[in-house]
Amino acid sequence: MHFFRSLLVVLLTAGTLFAQSSVEEFKLGGTARILDEDCIRLTPDVQFASGSAWYEKPIDLSQSFELTVCLVFGKRDELGADGIGFVFHPVMRTGYRGEGMGFAGLYPSLGIEFDTYQNYHLADPPNDHVAISVNGQPHHYASVDGPNELPNLEDGQKHLLWIYWNPIEKQLQVHLDGKQVANLNEDIVEDVFRGNPTVFWGVTAATGRKMNYHDICIKKLVFAQAEVPD
């Protein structure tokens, strides 16, 4: 039973499978803190907080990548903000937080945002939503998918997220609570990362005048580990 509660990471490297059960292989920034063997709290329920967690092993996007996590967006609805963003970037560097969702200003990059606050000047819809954006542009005129509206996320519950990259079909799928909420059919290695398949992934969250705690609980990672030149 303990095995299924622990963090499971599978590395597909030279045909060999490896597993680990520690969130300590994430590089934490800002307000991010480890809660337990599975979970990281990115922000506490306070104003003007920001936190990030980067997985320290690079991934190879020329092979498939699968991420299964649970997200918690706090309990404040009308008074809550801002959400959680996933960032893919060739180096472990976080972009502008807050409305930038941790990927704003990063080039080249791919960001998947779960936004719980409406920023009118970014063309946000009134409800919680998800969008995929590239090259650090948070305004939805630059979104390559979305914004797609979601049910209320700020309910204090864990929301199961599954992200899958298929390099053969050139398809990135995003499922939340068992439903597909975003999809991108594009050669992201060539079109976004200029032919470089080696990237890091991280997750970030932020609050402003409105606030919420934001948690991520890692369930399963399946990927091919890439080599980074010294």
The two tokens of residue 221 are 């990672």
* Measured distance CA(180)–CA(198) in Å, rounded: 26
H-helix segments, the chain:
2-5, 188-191
Q: Is 59 left (phi over 0), alpha (psi -120 to 50) or beta?
A: beta
Contact 21, 37 (CB under 8 A): yes
State the Cα torsion 190-198-82-205 to the nearest 10°: 180
The two tokens of residue 161 are 């997220």
CATH code that applies to domain 2-223: 2.60.120.200
DSSP, res 225: B
Q: With a cut of 50, which residues of the chain have pLDDT below it?
A: 1-21
Single pTM value for the model: 0.87
Q: Where are the domains of the chain?
A: 2-223
Q: What is the pLDDT of residue 228?
A: 63
Q: What is the pLDDT of residue 141?
A: 84
Q: What is the pLDDT of residue 199?
A: 95
